[in-house]
């Protein structure tokens, strides 16, 4: 039998924070996914805004490419403020 499609659910817990992935569920369409997300993932006032995305629409990076994707950033320490040596007396920087 055909299973209802899987959806990924993202919830904003309060204004000012970004939506965060909280889990997944099954639903036949986006309306139902939204309502199911409300019933499944906000029973304890966990959210004020919901995003639903059908799981098949998410592309994920391949962990096998992890090294080539992410390691090159590791030695670019000059992107971080602590890389620069400045005197302690200097304020507001």
> Given the rule CB under 8 A, which residues bind another protein?
1-4, 6, 22-29, 31-32, 35-36, 39-40, 43-44, 60, 62-64
Our CB check for another protein shows the closer of 65 and 89 to be 65
In angstroms, the Cα distances linking 82 to 42, 77, 79, 85 are: 40, 8, 9, 7
Measure the CA–CA gap between 56 and 2, rounded to whole angstroms.
15
Our CB check for another protein shows the closer of 13 and 24 to be 24
Our CB check for another protein shows the closer of 14 and 26 to be 26
């Amino acid at each position: 039998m055909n299973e209802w499609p899987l959806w990924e659910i993202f919830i904003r817990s309060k204004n000012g924070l970004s939506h965060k992935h909280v889990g997944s569920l099954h639903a036949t369409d986006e309306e139902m996914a939204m309502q199911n997300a409300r019933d499944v993932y906000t029973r304890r006032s966990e959210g004020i805004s919901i995003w639903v995305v059908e799981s098949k629409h998410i592309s994920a990076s391949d962990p096998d490419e992890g090294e080539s994707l992410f390691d090159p950033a590791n030695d670019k320490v000059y992107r971080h403020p602590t890389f620069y040596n400045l005197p302690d007396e200097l304020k507001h920087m």
